[in-house]
Amino acid sequence: MEGKMHLIRSAAPVREQVLKALRTEIIEGRFAPGRRLTERELTEMLGVSRTVLRESLRQLEAEGLVRLIPNKGPVVRALTVGEARELYRIREALEGLAARSFAEHNDPDRIADLERALEAVEVAYKEGDPRSILAAKNDFYDAMHTGARSQILSKMLGTVLAQIWRWRAMGLTHPMRSTGRSVESVRNLRKVVDAIKAGDVDAAERAAKEDARRAAAEVLRLLDAEDNDGQTLGRSVLQTD
């Protein structure tokens, strides 16, 4: 492994910072599928103990990003189209439930947070930077999950989103990306917010499911195209090499 990853020291626990750094390397494609993750090299790159590193790798294994192979150690998992289909179906159901729960609670402060998050998504799309768009959309979904007031649901959604993050990123940069996808995405999120504000639980659930369904359709279309061309699934997704 080349280079050195510099952690931005903060109040967050070191393990959390290491986990975020490794997850980012995998999602953005710098650690490619099949790449071996050796303890010695990673501890040198991150400047942390093996204990902290092992804890982070176990979490990444639980998220489905890393696979532990006997006599070889942890490697970055190669993800399949079949897994994508299944995970997006799960995401659709959970996002619908989160939006419904949010609408039921109808907390004005949480709704204000959600509206601000949507505004940030709109700004990010206008600026056109894939990393900013992905970060802004992650913040939006975090706000929606928080508004649902269910730690169990938030944890489940966090696990699913961690596994499909690289596909979501791919959908922002792929040369075959649908030209109208950006406008459609913002429109879908606006429907979710409007339904939650109105306290319409059925409409909120439908809108959130539709948002997830359309996102899945776009990503799966791109994955199918790559698979048919014989390309590697889960390629570098936020790099433009």
**Tens of pLDDT, residues 222-233:** 887 766 654 444
- Mean pLDDT: which of 48-57, 59-68, 175-184, 231-240 is highest? 48-57
Question: Do 14-76 and 81-228 fold alike per CATH?
Answer: no
Q: Phi first, then psi: what are they for 76, rounded to 5°? A: -70, 130
What is the value of pTM for the model shown? Answer: 0.78
The DSSP call for residue 107 is: -
Query: CA 200, CA 197: separation in Å to the nearest integer?
Result: 8
CATH 1.20.1090.10, applies to 81-228: no
Q: Name the residue ranges covered by the structural domains of the chain.
A: 14-76, 81-228
Amino acid at 182: S
- Give the pLDDT score at 4: 58
Question: What pLDDT does residue 64 have?
Answer: 83
pLDDT digits (tens, 9 = 90+) for 120-138: 999 999 998 988 998 899 9
Tell me how crowded residue 142 is: count the other CB atoms within 10 A of its CB.
17
CATH number belonging to domain 14-76: 1.10.10.10
- What per-residue confidence (pLDDT) applies to 30? 82
Which residue, among 98, 182, 195, has the nearest Cα to 143 in the 3D structure? Answer: 98
**Is residue 75 scored above 50 in pLDDT?**
yes
**Percent of the chain that is helix, strand, coil (3-state, to 5):** 70, 5, 25
